[in-house]
Structure 1
Amino acid sequence: MKLTATAPFQPLAELPPHALGEREWLLECHCARHVTDLLKSQGWDVVPDLDCNVHCSSPDQRVYVGFLPESQEAARGELWHIHVTDNDGTTAWRQTFGPDTPARAVAGFLAALVAYPTRYCSCV
């Protein structure tokens, strides 16, 4: 199975210098829709629960993304949870994002994860 990002990845080196100095950076938007729309477009399961949390699973069930505004973790500053498991089911790595992280930034992080479907880095 091959996953592709919905928008092509453009490295910073390809952007003209003035584009970085004159832009407005992401500062707001904390709804889950930007992330869930991206993941749904890639065939992920997206399931809201009765507490307004949203749980997402990749098609191979090895990546979990949780938007957990009504959880104990959110009270500690962990609104977004991303867990990647290895082939044997053990946690390979995890990442959390707090409530101050714009949802579009989380979507960008996930788009980069989806855009690179191989587990190995070419520089190693």
Structure 2
Amino acid sequence: MAKYLFLIYGDEQIWEAGTEQDRKDVEAGHAAFAAAAGGAILSGHELLPTTTATTLRGSASGGPTPTDGPFLETKEALGGFYVVEAPDLDAAIALARQLPEVAAAHSGVEIRPINEHG
């Protein structure tokens, strides 16, 4: 079986402006995804907001320089991830379609194969 990384992106401002019920609905969606995916999920976590991120960047002096915030400034931020096993990309896509973020207009899910040979 191949392994895939599901990167869940969304607009942090919309997420933070959401109601308690909005959060409960997303949590219920993830619970339903976990129940449907079962043992295919190897790992997964929600990430804290980008305001808590630290990025290391190369500098002219050769050493990495830590900076506050994410590496790239974009409207959509990485908010969580899953590592899943699936027989092929089509099966991984079928699993990812069950995530609540796929149906939201302000978010999306990137599916990336994991290179286990390098």
- TM-score where L is the length of structure 2: 0.27
| Larger relative contact order (Cα-Cα within 8 Å, sequence gap ≥ 6) | 2
Structure with more of its chain in strand, by fraction: 2
Structure with more of its chain in helix, by fraction: 2
- TM-score where L is the length of structure 1: 0.26
